[in-house]
Every structure is written in structure tokens, then in C-alpha cells.
Amino acid sequence: MEPGQQQAPYLDALCEYARRNPARLHVPGHKGGQGADPGLRHAIGERALSLDIPALTYGVDVGLDPTPFEHAQRLAAEAWGAKRAWFLINGASQGNLAAGLALAHGGEEVVLQRNAHSSTIDALVLSGLRPTFTAPEVDPELGIAHCLTGEALERALAATPGAVGAWVVSPTYFGAVADVRALAAVAHERGVPLIVDEAWGAHLAFHEQLPEHALAAGADLVISSTHKIVGSLTQSAMLHLGHGAGGMIGEDAVDRAVTLTESTSPSALLGASLDAARRHAAVHGRGLLEHTMAALADTREQIRAIDGLDVLDGRLAGRPGVFAYDPLRLAVDVRGVRASGYELAPLLREIDDINLELYGQNVLVAVFGMAERGLPEASRLVSALREAVQRVGIEPGGAQASFAAPPPWGELAMTPREAYLGAQEVVAVARAAGRIAAESLATYPPGIPNVLPGERLTADTLSYVQRTLEQGGSVRGASDRRLRTVRVVVEGRGGSR
Ligand SMILES: Cc1ncc(COP(=O)(O)O)c(C=O)c1O
């Protein structure tokens, strides 16, 4: 660790500003808290409000070079091994939007992992990029999507000679980590940058027993949701440019794209939380992660000892699309009990107010932060799972149930942007086959979008989505969550609605 990592210059600059009791003749109107609603003051405290200052404050983010804000971003770049890091105040979602806009400087086509986050699809709408989708590996037992293989990326790039980038996701919600080195080698062989949505992996840089993080493995642009596991404030995230990206992604293009996608009033509290979280991770991350990993290993053992339950762990590594496993996710395989994940999640809430990050048919996912202490929540989860299984009973042989893969996605008839901006109408699902979708439909499990804007709807896909809903699954992206209707493009007419 570099000695500079002990500092948090941006956080310190905010504290110094508040300490001076300055004349606050600027926004925000609560004036350091005096003008705030007493309920808010009580809830978040005077201190937090006193640090809520606007951008362009002298000595904080304007003034002598480097300003504390620039210094903080440089320390973040150093901590993650990036050429440059940008603080984001609209989450990793903003990182995806900015990545799409930056890529669009180079051309019109991109290769994209099919189960990208919805903000990546929004990036296609914003940038106008035409995607060639490539499927991640779907686990036929667990019914969840893992990562993309180098071979799949190679095929997609070969089919898309005009691609200006390859865009993948790692780790997944469930903790599967891709072979980013192999993916980077494939992309670089074709002269395009590898963009990794590492929203779930900001912590990977801080312990050598964790899977290698994307920048270290050769990624060129990395989207990092710092708030998720490293623990900055919700909505704060970072975008990292790799040292090898030069010539493939322009630093200026990324900079402009970050500016375009953010407010002109970025929250100082969010920025300071990034500066502080970086310091915490760089200085104490190794020790904290060591403790959390050990405690989670113990929790996994306890869950596996419950009849009917299993956990996802390092044993997953080596399956198609899983190079390594991130132990900070606790994914519980519930196929051996007589209830689906959809039924168990509300039961856990009822038993002990257990609130999970995600649940599907076969798997429940609990997320742990970098700095869990003693893991009291993990013990509560284990007890509640024990009681839930007692209530619903076990399903011998349930773990053998296999998962029906979704039908292939439809032809991309227009770009997501054209579909999003084109004239649209809502039609009954019975009349929708053959029409071009104006919205996404993504069934859970396994969470790979079945339909994206611009694709032709097929009868097979529509009935698959309906069957999933009938079986207790869910569909994301649909304006009608029960899929009685679907929003489609009115063909042969330009303009918007
Ligand atoms: C893979 C992936 N990318 C991006 C995001 C967006 O992150 P944020 O909520 O920080 O905007 C998420 C959110 O869950 C995600 O799972």
C-alpha cells in the first residue's frame, strides 16, 4: 500500500470547510443544516448536513492543482491500479451509460453479454450502439446464468467485424467470476477494448485470496459499484480506465461521457464517502476481508448442515462460465426443500425480518459487505433458514430437477435506441408475435433478458415468459408485469409517441 492511501483529502477538505463556519452564500438552501426540516436534522445529524456543500467550492474541488477532489480520484486510481478513476454519483448505472457513450466515439457496433444490467441496455438507447448479443453459460442444474467464455466472445467478435468493444459482466449476482484474462486476450487480439461491468467486485482488489479483479486481469474500462460491497454511500460508484486502454478508449471521451451523465450538482457526501471507502479498503481491506471470508465459510458450513439446503461456493469454479467464485456472496441452493426461493424469501421475512438481496426459483442470495463484524446477520439467516425448512419440509430428489433453457432471442430488427424513440403502441400479448418490442422482458430465473427493445417477439418466447410467470417466476422490464399486454413499435412510422 502506498503511504498516500492513509489520506482522504476530499473528506478532509469538506470537514475543514464545515469547521471554518463559512458564510454559506450558495446552495443548498438548508445552509449547512440550519434551514433543514428538524426531522431530517434529527435523522441524519447536523454534521452530515454541514458537509453537504456544492461543487465548485474553492479549496475543495476548484483552486490549486491538484484540488482535494482530483487528489482523491488519483488515490482511487492508484488503489485499484487504474490509469484514471472517476467518482460517479449516479451509481454503476452511470458508469454503464458513460461507457456506452465513450465507446460510441469509435463506431456503431458493440459485442455485449446478453444478461447485462438494465443500465447497459439504457446505454445502448442513449448511445445508439447496435449490439451483437452473446449468451453467458446457463447452469442447467441451478437454472442461473454464469459468465461469458472466451470462446463465446471470440465467436461474437468474429461475427461483428465493426465492433468497437466487448462488454461483459463479472462477477454475477450469484458470485461467479469470469476468466477476464482470457476475455481480455480475445478482445485485444481483435484490437478492441474489453469493458467489464464489475459492479459486484469492487472489493476483489483488496485480498490476494479473492479472484483477480478485472483491471489487474487486463480490462480496459471497469464499472465498479463501490457502494455495493466496499460500502460507500448508496448511489456512489467509480469508473476506472485501464493502463492499457490507450488508443482503444480515449480518456477525454470517457471524461465527457461522465460529465454528460451526471448532475451539475454532484453530492459532496457521496464523493466523500467514495474517498473514505477507498481509504478504508486500501488501509484495512485485507484484514477486514480475511475476517469476513472466514466467518462466511463457517456460515456456509452451517447452512449445508441443514437437511435440504446447499450453498454455492468454490466448487462452482470450473463449470462452464465460472472461472472463480467470489466468497462475499452467500447463495443458498434451495432445490432440496419443498418450496421455491420465491416462497422462502417472504417466509424468512416473516420469521426474523430477514431481507435478501435477490431470490429466484432455486437460489437465495444474501450479500455481505467487506467489513462485517461477527456476522450476527449470518447467524440470524442460519436460524431462520432452519426454521423455514422445518415449516415447509424437504423434497428428496428436488436437487435433481433440471431447468428448461429459454428459447433463442428474436432477430434484432432495429437498434434499441430506434425502438425506444420510435412510435409505439400497447397490444394484447396474443397479437404481439412478429412485432418489434419497445421494452425489455427478462424472466427470473435465470435473468437473461428474453426480449430487448428492437427485437422481434416470437411466439415461443412469449409463451415461455408466460409459463415462467404461471410457475411463480417474475419478469423484469415489462410495463405489464403480468404480461397480458406488451409495448411494441409501430412499424413504418418514424418519430416518437
Ligand atoms: C451488473 C450490474 N451492473 C450495474 C448495476 C447498477 O449499479 P448501481 O445500482 O450502482 O447503479 C448493477 C446493480 O445491481 C448490477 O448488478
C-alpha cell read off for 265? 450538482
How many A from CA of 228 to the centre of ligand 1?
Answer: 9
Ligand 1 closest atom vs CA 234: 10
How many A from CA of 488 to the centre of ligand 1?
Answer: 26
Q: What is the predicted pLDDT for the residue at 353?
A: 97
Q: What is the predicted pLDDT for the residue at 2?
A: 81
What are the φ/ψ torsions at residue 290 (nearest 5 degrees)? -55, -45
- Helices (DSSP H) in 393-415: which residue ranges? none
Percentage with pLDDT > 70 across the chain:
97
Ligand 1, residues 86, 87, 119: which to mutate, most atoms within 8 A of Cβ? 119
Query: Which residue, 459, 457, 466, is CA-closest to 491?
Result: 457
Ligand 1, residues 94, 117, 195, 226: which to mutate, most atoms within 8 A of Cβ? 117
pTM summary value: 0.95
Q: pLDDT (tens digit, 9 = 90+) per residue, 44-99?
A: 999 999 999 999 999 999 999 999 999 999 999 999 999 999 999 999 999 999 99
Q: Is the pLDDT of residue 195 over 60?
A: yes
Percentage with pLDDT > 90 across the chain:
85
Please give the Cα distance from 388 to 129 (Å, whole number): 47
How many A from CA of 199 to the centre of ligand 1?
Answer: 5
How many A from CA of 63 to the centre of ligand 1?
Answer: 33
Q: How confident is the model at residue 496 (pLDDT cuts 50, 70, 90)?
A: very low
Contact 197, 92 (CB under 8 A): yes
Q: What is the predicted pLDDT for the residue at 273?
A: 98
Q: pLDDT (tens digit, 9 = 90+) per residue, 364-395?
A: 999 999 987 667 889 999 999 999 999 999 98
Q: Name the one residue in this structure whose C-alpha cell is 404461471.
A: 470
Write b or e for each residue in 417-451: b if 16 or more Cβ atoms lie within 10 A of its Cβ, otherwise e. bbbbbbebeeeebeebbebbbbbbbbbbbbbbbbb
Q: What is the predicted pLDDT for the residue at 402?
A: 59
Q: What is the predicted pLDDT for the residue at 430?
A: 95
Please give the Cα distance from 174 to 407 (Å, whole number): 22
Q: What is the predicted pLDDT for the residue at 247?
A: 84
Q: How confident is the model at residue 162 (pLDDT cuts 50, 70, 90)?
A: very high
Strands 176-177 and 324-325, sheet pairing:
antiparallel
Q: Is the pLDDT of residue 431 over 70?
A: yes
Q: What is the predicted pLDDT for the residue at 342?
A: 86
How many A from CA of 448 to the centre of ligand 1?
Answer: 15
Ligand 1 closest atom vs CA 172: 1
Angle at 284 between CA 223 and CA 277, to 5 degrees: 40
Q: Name the one residue in this structure whose C-alpha cell is 424468512.
A: 348
Q: pLDDT (tens digit, 9 = 90+) per residue, 464-490?
A: 999 888 877 788 888 898 999 999 999
Q: Which of 259-263, 314-318, 392-396, 401-405 has the lowest mean pLDDT?
A: 401-405
Contact 14, 268 (CB under 8 A): yes
For 51-162, list the strands marked E by DSSP. Answer: 84-88, 109-113, 130-134
Q: Which of 137-146, 249-258, 280-289, 320-329 has the lowest mean pLDDT?
A: 137-146
Q: What is the predicted pLDDT for the residue at 396?
A: 80
Beta-ladder partners of 195: 167, 221
Kindly give the interhelix angle for 376-392 and 268-304, rounded to the nearest 10 degrees.
Answer: 50
Strands 163-169 and 109-113, sheet pairing:
parallel
Q: How confident is the model at residue 399 (pLDDT cuts 50, 70, 90)?
A: low
Q: What is the predicted pLDDT for the residue at 497?
A: 40
Contact 296, 375 (CB under 8 A): yes
How many A from CA of 21 to the centre of ligand 1?
Answer: 38
Ligand 1 closest atom vs CA 93: 11
Contact 74, 66 (CB under 8 A): yes
Q: Which of 117-131, 158-172, 322-336, 479-493 has the lowest mean pLDDT?
A: 479-493
How many A from CA of 92 to the centre of ligand 1?
Answer: 5
Residue identifier of the C-alpha nearest atom 9 of ligand 1 = 91
- To the nearest whole number, what is the mean pLDDT of the chain? 94
Ligand 1, residues 114, 223, 225, 229: which to mutate, most atoms within 8 A of Cβ? 225
How many A from CA of 119 to the centre of ligand 1?
Answer: 7
Q: Is the pLDDT of residue 446 over 80?
A: no
The set of protein residues with a Cβ atom below 6 angstroms from ligand 1 is 91-93, 96, 117, 119, 169, 197, 199, 225, 237
Ligand 1 closest atom vs CA 225: 10
Q: What is the predicted pLDDT for the residue at 116?
A: 94
Q: Name the one residue in this structure whose C-alpha cell is 471507502.
A: 277
How many A from CA of 117 to the centre of ligand 1?
Answer: 6
